[in-house]
Structure 1
Amino acid sequence: MSNHSSSAEQQVKRPLLWGRFSPFVLLIALIGVALDQGTKIWLVHGFDLANNGPISILPLLDLVLVWNRGISYGLFQQNSDIGRWLLAGLTIVVTVGIWVWSARCQSRLVALSLALVIGGAVGNGIDRVFIGAVVDFVYFHVGSFSWYVFNLADVWIVAGVSGLLYDSFRNGPNSAAK
């Protein structure tokens, strides 16, 4: 018998669906979804932004109601039920893939970043499934420059992707995948 273990035995088995940071990822994602959905429900149904808006918060920040039937930045607008459900299905597939990634990650920063992306994707996915479009309401503008209208779920996604990018530059190009 050899004293050397095979390379397969030396590899650490990585979990598929539940890993070291899974409780943390789940908690952060659920908080993100709750904050996102809570603001949308309040602005659409409680405040009735459709009839009471737009609201100027600051000279460069307004609350407006926009129904986004596409993806980020309003790309790929879908005006049919088939397009809506394809985007909803894509959201589910991507979210499951990111969850598996989070179950295997070894860094709290990567776990947090993936949790934010999951929370944002689920928040916007809920809108798409139950309303037919994503509720966007934050509008930044300066002079003639106009930024797109977004929501908290979009903030979570951007923050999560930023964390993953930071981690990749800090620890090398493949660190977030570990």
Structure 2
Amino acid sequence: MAILVIVFLLLLDIISKQWALRYLAVEGDITVIKGFFNLAYLENRGAAFGILQNKQIFLIIITSIIILGMLYYVFILKPKSKLLNWSLYLIIAGAVGNLIDRSFLGFVVDFLEFHYKSYYFPTFNLADTFVVIGTGLLIIYVLKGE
């Protein structure tokens, strides 16, 4: 089941980014909820919040090591906790999705843009969402002390 979940999430990410590349990058932004949510193409050449700009090789190496460690944990050590497993599935899928972009495009495709008045939250993608939700679940797992 782990492979199916990870592949499904990864495909959602890849398909959404391909759409953003083919449509948003050419046609421009789409306002979904005026004054709150747009679909807006962005090429992120850094990590979260744009840190480590143009450090693609470093980010590829670190991300690859982390992914391999999580895959080892999921498939070799086989944790019993469903919460831990789901958190790792989400993080792996998101990390692989962004790793694919970095490796083949030289940047990560972001396109989800939330804003309120003059405050703009950093633009992100589905892979980022998976990593954030997975990390949140991982924090819950650790705090529960299973």
Question: Shorter-chain-normalised TM-score: which range?
Answer: over 0.9
Q: For 2:32, which of 47, 57, 77 is the aligned residue?
A: 57
> 1:50, CA displacement in angstroms?
1.7
1:141 and 2:115 aligned: yes
Runs of 4+ in structure 1 deviating by more than 4 angstroms, as ranges, are none
1:114 and 2:88 aligned: yes
Q: What is the TM-score with the length of structure 1 in the denominator?
A: 0.77
Partner of 2:14: 37
CA distance in 2, matches of 1:143, 1:77: 27
Q: Which runs of 5+ in 1 are unaligned?
A: 1-23
More helix per residue: 2
1:44–1:50 Cα contact (<8 Å) kept: yes
Q: Which runs of 5+ in 2 are unaligned?
A: none
Partner of 1:91: 63
> 1:77, CA displacement in angstroms?
0.5
Q: What is the TM-score with the length of structure 2 in the denominator?
A: 0.93
1:102–1:110 Cα contact (<8 Å) kept: no
Deviations 1:29-65 (A, max 9, x none): 11111000001111212x2x12312111012000111
* Cα RMSD, aligned residues only: 1.2
Partner of 1:74: 50
